[in-house]
Structure 1
Amino acid sequence: MEAVTSVDEYLGLFSGEVRARLEAMRAIIRETEPEAVESMAYGMPAYKLDGKPLVYFAGYDKHVGFYATPNGHEAFAEELSRYKQGKGSVQFPHTEPLPTDLVRRVVEFRRADIRPCPEARG
């Protein structure tokens, strides 16, 4: 089997509710940071800003994996603590609503980490 080379192709591997959840993740990321460059990395949809990793996500049978390394998970540790986690990953189970607002805030945090606002430096 050949490697998937685009996010559209990746999403095409899924159907039904899982695909809808993955498309929602994609929409949140693209709406929150329209300048992010979309690609595939590590076999999953990847978003970079100024050449630096912004976030990644992936679909699985029972959850959507969300990867906001290096510091996105640390900054939201309390809110993410209700979800199963791995090193640099969090699992949003298909049995619960997708935490769209939380995903949006994590993307905003990662954007601010990559592009600190000069005015905020004081």
Structure 2
Amino acid sequence: MAQGEAVTAYLDSLPPTARERVELIRARVHATAPGLGEKISYGILTFTLDGRTVCYTAGYARHVAVYPLPDVSGDPDLAERMAPYVSGRGTLKFPHGAALPLDLVGDVAAAHLARLRGAGTA
């Protein structure tokens, strides 16, 4: 199955609320970094830059998630904004029924892009 078909199949498999919210996250990540690629990795939607993973998003019955947490050691403001959503060791979890912090999602994607660019990827 081609990657585009795999992404469509993944989105089609999500419950309606999860799909709507994953699509909002997807749009914000692409607005933050036009030209990113997409694929399915680990069974979830993966955003890529030059073949390297930027971040992941997934939809579930009760929440949507963004993985992994970016390194925020130099950005206490971003760390503070992420704190209410941190779940486990590397997940931002956004429950359905609560506002989706799309500005935060964009900033998380931007932090991952900065990491990749700092590594000489872009």
CA distance in 1, matches of 2:91, 2:73: 8
CA distance in 2, matches of 1:68, 1:103: 12
Q: For residue 23 of structure 2, what is the aligned residue in structure 1?
A: 23
Deviations 1:75-95 (A, max 9, x none): 533212112511211110102
Matched residue of 2:100: which SS? coil
Structure 2 residue identity aligned to 1:28: R
The farther-off stretch of 75-84 and 48-57 is 75-84
Where does structure 1 lack aligned partners over 5 or more consecutive residues? none
4+ residue segments displaced more than 6 Å: none
Structure 2 residue identity aligned to 1:68: P
Tell which has more relative contact order, 1 or 2 (C-alpha 8 A, sep 6+).
2
TM-score (norm 2): 0.80
Q: RMSD of the alignment, in Å?
A: 2.3
Where does structure 2 lack aligned partners over 5 or more consecutive residues? none
Matched residue of 1:115: which SS? helix
Say yes or no: does 1:102 pair with 2:101.
no
**Residue correspondence of structure 1 range 1-122 to structure 2 within 5 A:** 6-69=6-69, 71=71, 76-116=78-118
Deviations 1:19-64 (A, max 9, x none): 1111111111122112222000000000121332211010111110
How many residues are aligned here? 113
Task: Report if aligned partners of 1:73, 1:80 keep a CA contact under 8 Å in 2.
Answer: no
Matched residue of 1:91: which SS? strand
Deviations 1:83-117 (A, max 9, x none): 2511211110102111100000111111111114x
Q: CA deviation at 1:73?
A: 9.3
